Structure 1
């Protein structure tokens, strides 16, 4: 992601040697994103991704790294954190926590068709089921509590009609969160950020196969329905308008339900959860846009995109296919 922390070739080479990854041949900063410092790390033995964590702490990170190992052991295609001779997977660079994972094959599909959505929906359900017995617990750190804290910080930067929308939607979501139906939603580890650029596909055009989910550093324990809603709001929309493409959305949900059927409460709350997922990313993009951190390759996302998505979900609620 954006480079906040400069890592020297010497530091990267030393870490690669400690992890028995071979001799460093190349180190390149990754420009996309805004949360952590990421580099492509190449050695004479393979390709890796080096991440230096800018916000997550040494205490928080075992949840994410061990979750990836847990899922990989259950044949969910995710990056595998690399351990040193003592089995340690959380390292230190420049006084900050760091990890190295294998680089997934393929590339992101930024213009998905229904068959891409079907593959992601099916694997998302498998991932949820595979995480049921994951023993560590950490809440979604960008959940409702964070929204409540962050909205007052971004409100002064907004136009009056935007402030009204943001405050009204937060009130609505707080009300939904208090309902028995919301409390009854199935829960477990969720990715919480499974956008198009966090999934890899490989193969010839029109025949691409999903090769992995990555960037689990917003993961936490939350409603599985929230994870599904995040995906629908990215994989199954027209990016220029935020409108839901119902054919892609139906394909995504049907493939998900082929692995895990949605409950009655999930179907009832899907329209509200689609709004919640849009709200979450509108807030975070407003925060990143108006209160940015310094970085040598910082590219904050446009917050108005998820404002459009939220307005669409309010005006045109979607109830799924079941």
Structure 2
């Protein structure tokens, strides 16, 4: 969510002429993140987020925008894309596709409690079920095929131990993706990036209230268990070591299963898919750190964090999924 493309007040005013969401009040850039340009946009009718897409194409965007529209219509707390006067939900600004979505209440919780984990786990399961009848398809663009393409690009920056680890795990994941167990896993549209900074909470730390899930622009069709693993690897860990916090992990898995029980194939796949989730973000953080795009504001994450997470998942047993 860095500012790659500057948007002026005049740009915003002209854009709002295509909508019926009020007159321009203010515009403020969001500097965190590394993928899209985002601004908080205030109008006389409400608070919104304006996003210019720096990587995703106009052809790819309908999946993400319509998925949010679909989930919002089913009552899942997500940003609702605004519809233009002509019925479209995607515009173009400075040659980049863009959208305006509602700004959800609350803020992100950097130190989530067990109760935070329970609430977002239930919401994640609700989103998976609500997306079952979503008609559009889009692969997870940061899935296995992207890993295979990207690992050779980052290998020159790794030492011998790191190189051996990343290649071994990639080979294991490739074999598993061709297995009957993998093919039996429930799948569908998923967020695929459900980190703690992509969820908003209102209320207090002691009594949190779900605000909603944001930033769907890494979403894609994948196994739902991979989506769970991505989240557990961020919400339910000790940040310094990458080790799982057993209490939070069990709370997450049990709360999710109350809404959507896990299948037998998912019980088998869990230990390897939680490694897959760590591998995915180690690769992407290596790529963003060593091969960054030029930007006005860019804060790449330290890739060593997910190297530690991956080593923890390989060296220590993970809690079994609840039955």
TM-score (norm 2): 0.98
Structure 1 residue 320, shift from structure 2 partner: 2.2
| 2:50 matched residue in structure 1 | 50
Whether 1:223 aligns to 2:223 is yes
2:142 matched residue in structure 1: 142
2:185 alignment counterpart: 185
Q: Which residue of 1 is the match for residue 297 of structure 2?
A: 297
Q: Deviations over 1:141-200 (max 9, x none)?
A: 100000000000000111111111111110111111111000100011000001000001
- In 1, the alpha carbon distance for the partners of 2:83 and 2:321 equals 43
- Contact (CA 8 Å) 1:270, 1:319: kept in 2 or not? no
3-state SS of 1:244 partner: coil
Partner secondary structure for residue 17 of structure 2: helix
- Separation in structure 1 between the aligned mates of residue 223 and residue 321 of structure 2, nearest angstrom: 19
CA distance in 1, matches of 2:17, 2:302: 40
Alignment of 1:1-322 (within 5 A): 1-322=1-322
Q: Give unmatched runs, 5+ long, in structure 1.
A: none
Q: CA deviation at 1:23?
A: 2.0
Mapped contact 2:250–2:319 kept (Cα < 8 A): no
Please report how far the alpha carbon of residue 84 of structure 1 lies from its aligned counterpart in structure 2 after TM superposition. 1.0
CA distance in 1, matches of 2:176, 2:62: 31
Q: What's the CA shift for 1:21?
A: 2.0
SS at match of 1:18: coil
1:227 match: secondary structure: helix
1:244-287 deviation line (CA, Å, top 9, x unaligned) = 00100000000000001101110111110110000000000000
Deviation at 1:319, TM superposition (A): 3.9
Q: 1:204: Cα distance to partner?
A: 2.6
CA distance in 2, matches of 1:172, 1:183: 15
* Matches of 1:192 and 1:220, distance apart in 2: 7
Secondary structure of the 1:294 match is coil
Distance in structure 1 (CA, Å) of the matches to 2:31 and 2:317: 35
Q: 1:321 Cα shift?
A: 4.1
Count of residues paired in the alignment: 322
Q: Deviations over 1:212-254 (max 9, x none)?
A: 0010000111100000000000010011110000100000000
Q: CA RMSD in A?
A: 0.8
Query: Cα offset for 1:317?
Result: 2.7
Contact 1:268 1:319 survives alignment (8 Å): no
Give the TM-score, by structure 1 length.
0.99
